[in-house]
Amino acid sequence: MPAHERLTELPGLPTTPGYAHAVTVTGRLAFVSGQVAVDAQGCAVGVDDLAAQTRQALGNLHHVIENLGADWSDVIKFTWFVLDASEVQTIRDVRDEILRPALGELPNPASTLVQVAALFGPDFLVEVEAVVAVPGEASDV
């Protein structure tokens, strides 16, 4: 695993609630485009249901990550774009439901959440992008 250290406790800063302040890595990085709640045909999934949309967006993200030869433990940073930041606990709950089995006791990746006025389609409530530390040699992908 190219992700090495996940800093969650630093002097002068509060302990992070569910994410790392920073993650150190070695090797190649992949910057994965934002994923939304669409199915394989490009149709919106879970309209008006933030939990369902978060699950689908993370599922789509995981599909990309797996095709890089990586997994959740290789994700070093998420950036979340949401229409309503007050719903962050729903996103955290779904994220933990999906990531905890893969990460075990490891802290979650570094994370940023931004409230936006709109996403690229009117049915979308959340978008998530990731930075991934890709295992293997540069010629593997």
Q: Provide the residue-wise pLDDT of the chain in tens; the chain has 141 residues.
A: 566 677 777 788 777 667 777 777 778 899 999 999 999 999 999 999 999 999 999 999 999 999 999 999 999 999 999 999 999 999 999 999 999 999 998 889 999 999 999 998 999 999 999 999 998 865 544
Cα dihedral: 50, 52, 56, 58 (round 10): 60
The predicted structure's pLDDT at residue 137: 64
- Distance from chain centroid for Cα 132: 10
The predicted structure's pLDDT at residue 12: 81
Handedness of CA 68, 71, 77, 80 (dihedral sign): positive
Cα dihedral: 1, 102, 65, 96 (round 10): -130
